Amino acid sequence: SHAQDHRVPVVLISGDGIGPEVADAATSVLSATFKGFEWIEAEAGAALMERGVASGVPKATLDEIERTGLVLKGPLATPIGHGGKSANVTLRKLYELYGNVRPIKPMPGLGGPFADRDINFVVVRENVEDLYAGIEHMQTPDVAQCLKLITRKGSEKIARLAFALARAEHRTSLCAVTKANIMKLTEGLFKDVVETTAREFPELDLDHMLVDNCAQQMVMRPEQFEVIVTTNMNGDILSDLGAGLIGGLGLTPSANVGDDVAIFEAVHGSAPDIAGRNVANPTALIRSGIMMLRHIGEGGAAQRLERALEDVYRAGTALTPDVAYDGIGVSTDAFRDAVLEALE
Ligand code: ATP
Ligand code: MG
């Protein structure tokens, strides 16, 4: 029925631990939703490091990423005792993935303290600057110093990404989150730049909140948020708080966005404790794939798959053990098949 689907080559990095299992489920349901995907399997992660590829990402994989600009990625582990950077950091630095985007939306039918709340917002986090730029040194043997780096250009890029996302998703408001009352220059610059960028998007309302208050508001009244745009460390903490609101890292997708490359991945790690047992929940990676569908302009396909996934959660009879009401649940494969059936 979708014979007109254009071809979209995507680099598929299955990754470590539960990666291959969740990647298999995710690519199955994504291919069933949108026929145009051409999966290019590529290696990265712990096994490569053990074979002596220090960065964890071999040249052949980098070449494919540069050719396609699109990656669907499972979790990458860093072997214990490996001194260097993780493969994740390698990719983020190499392609200047300056924006980390995390939608926070619960799945229907699950319990938990926020089950009955209307939570649906996106955290857009700057991902290369701030205290995480890695500029640290010992001033004296007893005094350590870390430099907080915020640039106008970096702030403009993340602000534009957040406003453009709000516009594309037909949202009405954004909230800039900073600590500009204390760090008047760095966080203040970020706040100024977001406020200036807002003029290019007159249909969107912009609010500002201090990060400590925002943490409280996300718990007390999460319904108020649509898009949060913030600096790196604030965003690191707030996006995990958001993941907690909707039932944990296992359900939370993300996108890492650069000028030329976008990497879509689940927020969880490689979960070696359950790897190879056909019990991992592929929901977070499937939702990352739904973000990728929207990114390539296939909003209709994204909506079809999102609805199928929600149907399976609402029915509640074919969920993996981590979210099953009886704690037993079904296998990764059976969950995948239920989503495929819901798509028909
Ligand atoms: P890594 O070192 O790669 O971060 P990890 O063991 O910290 O691996 P996390 O993904 O951070 O793995 O997960 C923490 C726990 O949550 C794991 O023990 C695992 O049982 C559970 N978990 C994580 N992801 C999933 C998933 N997709 N499905 C089911 N359980 C999961
Ligand atoms: Mg972990």
**Which residues in the chain come in under a pLDDT of 70?**
1-4, 82-85
Q: Are 296 and 104 in contact (CB under 8 A)?
A: no
Catalytic residue among 98, 236, 313, 322: 236
Digit-coded pLDDT (tens) for 1-20: 455 678 999 999 999 999 99
Provide the 3-class DSSP secondary structure of residue 330: coil
153 belongs to the catalytic site: no
Q: Name all residues whose Cβ lies below 6 A of ligand 1.
A: 18, 22, 75, 77, 250, 268-274, 280-281, 284, 322
Number of Cβ atoms within 10 Å of the Cβ of 9: 15
Task: Return the structure tokens found at 324.
Answer: 């099953």
Q: Please, what is the Cα angle at 232 between 18 and 129, to 5 degrees?
A: 110
ipTM for the whole complex: 0.94
- Find the ligand nearest to 279 CA: 1
Quote the pLDDT of residue 186. Answer: 98
Q: How far apart are CA 136 and CA 127, in angstroms?
A: 17
Q: Which atom of ligand 1 is nearest to the CA of 270?
A: 3
> Considering all CA atoms of the chain, what is the largest pairwise distance in Å, rounded to the nearest integer?
68
- Find the ligand nearest to 268 CA: 1
Digit-coded pLDDT (tens) for 186-216: 999 999 999 999 999 999 999 999 999 999 9
HSE (CB half, 13 Å, CA atoms) of 318? Answer: 19
Quote the pLDDT of residue 1. Answer: 45
132 belongs to the catalytic site: yes
